[in-house]
Amino acid sequence: MKTQGYIDLLSTIGIPGLIETQNSNRDPRLMELAQLNKIALLYSTVLGDDIYYKELLPRYEQLVNTLMQVSIIFNKNGIKYSIFKTIKPFPTTPSDIDVLLPSEDFSRAEALLISSGYIRTAHDAYSSTLQKEMIVDLQLQPSVSNLPYASKQLLMKNTVLRNVYGCEIRTLNPEAEVIVIASHSFYKEQMFTLNDYYAITILAEQLDIEKLAGLAEANKTMDVLRIITGICSQITESVFNTRLKINDISQTLASQHERIMNHDALPIKFPFGLVLKLLLKRATEDKEMRRMMMPALMRLASPAQFLKLIKHLQRTTY
Protein backbone atom coordinates (compact mmCIF):
# COMPACT_ATOMS: atom_id res chain seq x y z
CA MET A 1 0.00 0.00 0.00
CA LYS A 2 1.39 3.36 -1.01
CA THR A 3 1.59 6.75 0.70
CA GLN A 4 -2.11 7.35 1.38
CA GLY A 5 -2.43 3.96 3.06
CA TYR A 6 0.13 4.55 5.76
CA ILE A 7 -1.01 8.17 6.20
CA ASP A 8 -4.53 6.86 6.94
CA LEU A 9 -3.11 4.23 9.30
CA LEU A 10 -0.95 6.71 11.21
CA SER A 11 -3.76 9.25 11.38
CA THR A 12 -6.07 6.62 12.83
CA ILE A 13 -3.56 5.62 15.52
CA GLY A 14 -2.01 9.02 16.27
CA ILE A 15 1.10 8.76 18.47
CA PRO A 16 0.42 7.22 21.91
CA GLY A 17 0.93 9.80 24.62
CA LEU A 18 1.76 12.56 22.14
CA ILE A 19 -0.88 12.96 19.41
CA GLU A 20 -4.52 11.89 19.63
CA THR A 21 -6.15 9.76 16.95
CA GLN A 22 -7.46 11.90 14.11
CA ASN A 23 -10.04 9.52 12.66
CA SER A 24 -11.45 6.00 13.09
CA ASN A 25 -10.69 4.26 9.82
CA ARG A 26 -11.62 0.55 9.92
CA ASP A 27 -10.50 -0.26 6.37
CA PRO A 28 -9.38 -3.95 6.30
CA ARG A 29 -6.45 -2.89 4.11
CA LEU A 30 -5.15 -0.81 7.00
CA MET A 31 -5.05 -3.89 9.23
CA GLU A 32 -3.00 -5.64 6.55
CA LEU A 33 -0.62 -2.69 6.55
CA ALA A 34 -0.52 -2.70 10.36
CA GLN A 35 0.39 -6.39 10.32
CA LEU A 36 3.17 -5.79 7.79
CA ASN A 37 4.50 -3.01 10.02
CA LYS A 38 4.23 -5.02 13.27
CA ILE A 39 1.68 -2.71 14.91
CA ALA A 40 -1.48 -4.83 14.61
CA LEU A 41 -2.12 -4.85 18.38
CA LEU A 42 -1.67 -1.08 18.59
CA TYR A 43 -4.09 -0.50 15.69
CA SER A 44 -6.73 -2.91 17.06
CA THR A 45 -6.39 -1.36 20.55
CA VAL A 46 -7.03 2.15 19.22
CA LEU A 47 -9.99 1.00 17.14
CA GLY A 48 -11.46 -1.15 19.90
CA ASP A 49 -11.55 -4.01 17.39
CA ASP A 50 -12.51 -7.00 19.54
CA ILE A 51 -11.83 -9.63 16.87
CA TYR A 52 -8.16 -8.79 16.28
CA TYR A 53 -7.59 -7.65 19.87
CA LYS A 54 -8.79 -10.95 21.33
CA GLU A 55 -6.63 -12.83 18.83
CA LEU A 56 -3.48 -10.84 19.72
CA LEU A 57 -4.08 -10.42 23.47
CA PRO A 58 -2.86 -13.93 24.46
CA ARG A 59 0.45 -13.25 22.71
CA TYR A 60 0.81 -9.97 24.59
CA GLU A 61 0.01 -11.65 27.90
CA GLN A 62 2.57 -14.35 27.08
CA LEU A 63 5.16 -11.63 26.49
CA VAL A 64 4.40 -10.00 29.85
CA ASN A 65 4.50 -13.31 31.74
CA THR A 66 7.80 -14.38 30.14
CA LEU A 67 9.43 -11.00 30.77
CA MET A 68 8.45 -11.19 34.42
CA GLN A 69 9.60 -14.80 34.76
CA VAL A 70 13.02 -14.23 33.17
CA SER A 71 13.65 -10.99 35.08
CA ILE A 72 12.70 -12.51 38.44
CA ILE A 73 15.06 -15.46 37.84
CA PHE A 74 17.95 -13.20 36.85
CA ASN A 75 17.32 -10.62 39.60
CA LYS A 76 17.12 -13.33 42.27
CA ASN A 77 20.39 -14.92 41.14
CA GLY A 78 22.40 -11.74 40.65
CA ILE A 79 22.69 -12.04 36.86
CA LYS A 80 23.79 -8.89 35.07
CA TYR A 81 21.46 -8.48 32.11
CA SER A 82 19.43 -6.06 30.05
CA ILE A 83 16.22 -6.64 28.10
CA PHE A 84 16.50 -4.79 24.79
CA LYS A 85 14.50 -4.31 21.59
CA THR A 86 11.54 -5.95 23.29
CA ILE A 87 9.65 -3.59 25.60
CA LYS A 88 8.12 -0.83 23.47
CA PRO A 89 6.24 2.29 24.67
CA PHE A 90 3.02 0.92 23.14
CA PRO A 91 1.31 -2.51 23.09
CA THR A 92 3.11 -4.92 20.78
CA THR A 93 3.63 -8.64 20.24
CA PRO A 94 7.28 -9.42 19.42
CA SER A 95 8.14 -12.95 18.35
CA ASP A 96 10.86 -13.27 20.98
CA ILE A 97 12.53 -11.60 23.96
CA ASP A 98 16.10 -10.32 23.53
CA VAL A 99 18.40 -10.36 26.55
CA LEU A 100 21.91 -8.88 26.56
CA LEU A 101 24.40 -10.54 28.91
CA PRO A 102 28.08 -10.08 29.82
CA SER A 103 30.38 -13.04 29.04
CA GLU A 104 30.86 -13.94 32.71
CA ASP A 105 27.12 -14.43 33.31
CA PHE A 106 26.10 -16.00 30.01
CA SER A 107 26.49 -19.72 30.85
CA ARG A 108 24.89 -19.37 34.27
CA ALA A 109 21.95 -17.41 32.84
CA GLU A 110 21.42 -20.11 30.23
CA ALA A 111 21.61 -22.86 32.86
CA LEU A 112 19.11 -21.07 35.10
CA LEU A 113 16.55 -20.85 32.30
CA ILE A 114 17.09 -24.48 31.29
CA SER A 115 16.54 -25.55 34.91
CA SER A 116 13.30 -23.55 34.82
CA GLY A 117 11.95 -25.56 31.90
CA TYR A 118 13.38 -23.78 28.87
CA ILE A 119 14.79 -25.87 26.02
CA ARG A 120 17.82 -24.70 24.03
CA THR A 121 16.98 -24.78 20.31
CA ALA A 122 19.97 -22.95 18.78
CA HIS A 123 23.42 -21.72 19.72
CA ASP A 124 26.25 -19.79 18.04
CA ALA A 125 29.25 -17.66 18.96
CA TYR A 126 27.17 -14.73 20.19
CA SER A 127 23.80 -16.15 21.23
CA SER A 128 21.68 -18.96 22.60
CA THR A 129 18.01 -19.42 21.75
CA LEU A 130 15.76 -21.02 24.36
CA GLN A 131 12.06 -21.73 24.24
CA LYS A 132 9.28 -22.48 26.67
CA GLU A 133 5.97 -20.67 26.11
CA MET A 134 7.95 -18.02 24.20
CA ILE A 135 11.38 -17.74 22.59
CA VAL A 136 14.11 -16.05 24.66
CA ASP A 137 17.30 -15.03 22.84
CA LEU A 138 20.32 -14.66 25.12
CA GLN A 139 22.93 -12.50 23.40
CA LEU A 140 26.52 -11.62 24.15
CA GLN A 141 26.44 -8.98 21.44
CA PRO A 142 23.82 -7.58 19.04
CA SER A 143 25.00 -8.89 15.69
CA VAL A 144 24.10 -9.76 12.11
CA SER A 145 25.76 -12.90 10.68
CA ASN A 146 28.05 -12.81 13.74
CA LEU A 147 29.11 -9.25 12.88
CA PRO A 148 28.57 -7.08 15.98
CA TYR A 149 26.67 -3.90 15.11
CA ALA A 150 26.66 -2.44 18.64
CA SER A 151 29.20 -2.44 21.47
CA LYS A 152 28.08 -4.66 24.34
CA GLN A 153 30.36 -2.75 26.72
CA LEU A 154 28.70 0.57 25.88
CA LEU A 155 25.22 -0.90 26.06
CA MET A 156 25.75 -2.59 29.43
CA LYS A 157 26.96 0.75 30.80
CA ASN A 158 23.67 2.32 29.73
CA THR A 159 21.03 0.30 31.56
CA VAL A 160 18.29 1.27 34.00
CA LEU A 161 16.09 -0.68 36.41
CA ARG A 162 12.44 -0.02 35.60
CA ASN A 163 9.18 -1.12 37.11
CA VAL A 164 7.43 -2.74 34.16
CA TYR A 165 4.18 -4.69 34.56
CA GLY A 166 4.73 -4.49 38.33
CA CYS A 167 8.13 -6.19 38.11
CA GLU A 168 11.67 -4.80 38.36
CA ILE A 169 13.19 -5.28 34.90
CA ARG A 170 16.59 -4.06 33.74
CA THR A 171 16.48 -2.44 30.30
CA LEU A 172 18.60 -0.09 28.21
CA ASN A 173 18.18 3.63 28.83
CA PRO A 174 16.27 5.57 26.12
CA GLU A 175 19.46 6.70 24.31
CA ALA A 176 20.91 3.19 24.05
CA GLU A 177 17.52 1.68 23.16
CA VAL A 178 17.03 4.09 20.26
CA ILE A 179 20.51 3.29 18.92
CA VAL A 180 19.91 -0.47 19.12
CA ILE A 181 16.46 -0.28 17.49
CA ALA A 182 17.85 1.86 14.67
CA SER A 183 20.90 -0.38 14.17
CA HIS A 184 18.83 -3.57 14.23
CA SER A 185 16.39 -2.14 11.71
CA PHE A 186 19.15 -1.04 9.34
CA TYR A 187 21.88 -3.66 9.68
CA LYS A 188 20.02 -6.85 10.56
CA GLU A 189 16.51 -6.52 9.14
CA GLN A 190 17.48 -4.02 6.41
CA MET A 191 13.95 -2.74 6.76
CA PHE A 192 12.16 0.07 8.60
CA THR A 193 8.65 -0.57 9.93
CA LEU A 194 6.09 1.60 11.70
CA ASN A 195 6.91 -0.39 14.82
CA ASP A 196 10.40 1.17 14.59
CA TYR A 197 8.87 4.59 13.90
CA TYR A 198 6.63 4.55 16.96
CA ALA A 199 9.30 3.15 19.27
CA ILE A 200 11.94 5.69 18.28
CA THR A 201 9.61 8.69 18.05
CA ILE A 202 8.07 8.06 21.49
CA LEU A 203 11.41 7.22 23.15
CA ALA A 204 12.90 10.38 21.64
CA GLU A 205 10.76 12.45 24.01
CA GLN A 206 12.60 10.92 26.99
CA LEU A 207 16.21 11.17 25.88
CA ASP A 208 19.03 13.68 26.06
CA ILE A 209 20.13 14.68 22.55
CA GLU A 210 23.78 15.30 23.48
CA LYS A 211 23.98 11.96 25.26
CA LEU A 212 22.39 10.23 22.26
CA ALA A 213 24.88 11.81 19.85
CA GLY A 214 27.84 10.94 22.08
CA LEU A 215 26.73 7.33 22.41
CA ALA A 216 26.18 7.01 18.67
CA GLU A 217 29.66 8.38 17.96
CA ALA A 218 31.25 6.01 20.48
CA ASN A 219 29.29 3.10 19.02
CA LYS A 220 30.24 4.02 15.42
CA THR A 221 26.57 4.16 14.38
CA MET A 222 26.04 7.87 13.70
CA ASP A 223 25.40 7.33 9.97
CA VAL A 224 22.63 4.84 10.69
CA LEU A 225 21.13 7.03 13.40
CA ARG A 226 21.01 9.96 10.98
CA ILE A 227 19.15 7.87 8.40
CA ILE A 228 16.62 6.45 10.84
CA THR A 229 15.89 9.66 12.75
CA GLY A 230 15.61 11.45 9.42
CA ILE A 231 12.90 9.03 8.29
CA CYS A 232 11.05 9.41 11.61
CA SER A 233 11.26 13.19 11.35
CA GLN A 234 9.88 13.28 7.81
CA ILE A 235 6.99 10.95 8.67
CA THR A 236 6.07 13.07 11.71
CA GLU A 237 6.03 16.32 9.73
CA SER A 238 4.30 14.95 6.62
CA VAL A 239 1.58 12.95 8.39
CA PHE A 240 0.89 14.97 11.55
CA ASN A 241 1.98 18.41 10.33
CA THR A 242 3.80 19.03 13.59
CA ARG A 243 7.25 18.97 15.16
CA LEU A 244 8.24 16.72 18.04
CA LYS A 245 11.57 16.08 19.72
CA ILE A 246 12.46 13.56 17.01
CA ASN A 247 12.51 16.48 14.55
CA ASP A 248 14.95 18.38 16.77
CA ILE A 249 17.13 15.28 17.03
CA SER A 250 17.13 14.84 13.26
CA GLN A 251 18.05 18.48 12.77
CA THR A 252 20.82 18.32 15.39
CA LEU A 253 22.30 15.22 13.78
CA ALA A 254 22.07 16.85 10.33
CA SER A 255 20.10 13.92 8.92
CA GLN A 256 19.97 13.75 5.13
CA HIS A 257 17.43 11.03 4.48
CA GLU A 258 15.71 12.50 1.41
CA ARG A 259 18.58 11.82 -0.96
CA ILE A 260 18.68 8.06 -0.29
CA MET A 261 15.18 7.04 0.79
CA ASN A 262 11.84 6.79 -1.00
CA HIS A 263 9.03 6.99 1.53
CA ASP A 264 6.09 6.12 -0.70
CA ALA A 265 5.55 2.73 0.99
CA LEU A 266 6.08 1.10 4.35
CA PRO A 267 7.89 -1.01 5.43
CA ILE A 268 10.89 0.72 3.84
CA LYS A 269 13.52 -1.66 2.48
CA PHE A 270 17.05 -0.29 2.68
CA PRO A 271 19.22 -0.79 -0.44
CA PHE A 272 21.57 -3.71 0.20
CA GLY A 273 24.45 -1.74 -1.28
CA LEU A 274 23.93 1.00 1.31
CA VAL A 275 23.73 -1.51 4.18
CA LEU A 276 26.91 -3.23 3.02
CA LYS A 277 28.68 0.10 2.60
CA LEU A 278 27.92 1.19 6.16
CA LEU A 279 28.73 -2.27 7.55
CA LEU A 280 32.16 -2.08 5.93
CA LYS A 281 32.63 1.47 7.16
CA ARG A 282 31.80 0.44 10.72
CA ALA A 283 34.18 -2.53 10.43
CA THR A 284 37.06 -0.16 9.63
CA GLU A 285 36.29 1.77 12.84
CA ASP A 286 35.46 -1.09 15.22
CA LYS A 287 38.12 -3.65 16.17
CA GLU A 288 35.74 -6.45 17.19
CA MET A 289 33.65 -6.10 14.03
CA ARG A 290 36.78 -5.99 11.86
CA ARG A 291 38.04 -9.22 13.45
CA MET A 292 34.81 -11.01 12.50
CA MET A 293 34.48 -9.60 8.96
CA MET A 294 36.50 -12.22 7.07
CA PRO A 295 34.76 -15.26 8.65
CA ALA A 296 31.40 -13.62 7.85
CA LEU A 297 32.34 -13.08 4.21
CA MET A 298 33.54 -16.68 3.94
CA ARG A 299 30.20 -17.96 5.26
CA LEU A 300 28.36 -15.79 2.75
CA ALA A 301 30.31 -17.48 -0.05
CA SER A 302 28.55 -20.80 0.63
CA PRO A 303 25.52 -21.51 -1.64
CA ALA A 304 23.22 -22.12 1.35
CA GLN A 305 24.10 -18.83 3.04
CA PHE A 306 23.87 -16.93 -0.24
CA LEU A 307 20.38 -18.33 -0.86
CA LYS A 308 19.43 -17.35 2.67
CA LEU A 309 20.62 -13.80 1.97
CA ILE A 310 18.54 -13.60 -1.23
CA LYS A 311 15.41 -14.71 0.63
CA HIS A 312 16.19 -12.16 3.34
CA LEU A 313 16.39 -9.38 0.79
CA GLN A 314 13.11 -10.41 -0.87
CA ARG A 315 10.98 -10.23 2.31
CA THR A 316 8.14 -7.75 2.59
CA THR A 317 8.27 -7.78 6.40
CA TYR A 318 9.92 -9.72 9.23
Residues belonging to the chain: 318
Identity at 86, one-letter amino acid code: T
Q: What is the mean pLDDT of residues 48-69?
A: 88
Residue 264 has pLDDT above 60, yes or no: yes
Class of residue 274 by CB neighbours under 10 A (exposed 0-12, middle 13-18, buried 19+): middle
What is the distance between the alpha carbons of residues 207 and 84, in angstroms, rounded to a whole number? 16
Q: What is the mean pLDDT of residues 237-244?
A: 93
pLDDT confidence bin for 295, thresholds 50/70/90: low
Task: Quote the longest CA-to-CA distance of the chain.
Answer: 52
Q: For position 304, what pLDDT does the model report?
A: 57
E strand segments, 6-151: 82-84, 96-100, 119-123, 127-131, 135-139, 143-144, 147-148
CATH topology of domain 3-289: Beta Polymerase; domain 2 (3.30.460)
Class of residue 73 by CB neighbours under 10 A (exposed 0-12, middle 13-18, buried 19+): middle
Residue 294 DSSP SS3: helix
What is the distance between the alpha carbons of residues 265 and 280, in angstroms, rounded to a whole number? 27
pTM summary value: 0.91
Gyration radius from the chain CA atoms: 19
Strand partners, 147: 144
Omega prior to 267 cis, within 30 of 0: yes
What is the distance between the alpha carbons of residues 118 and 112, in angstroms, rounded to a whole number? 9
pLDDT confidence bin for 315, thresholds 50/70/90: low
Q: For position 160, what pLDDT does the model report?
A: 96
For 130-154, what is each residue's pLDDT tens digit?
999 999 999 999 988 778 899 999 9
What is the distance between the alpha carbons of residues 240 and 272, in angstroms, rounded to a whole number? 30
| Residue 173 and residue 160 in contact, taking contact as beta carbons nearer than 8 Å | yes
Domain boundaries, the chain: 3-289
Please name the residue ranges forming H helices in 80-157: 103-115, 152-156
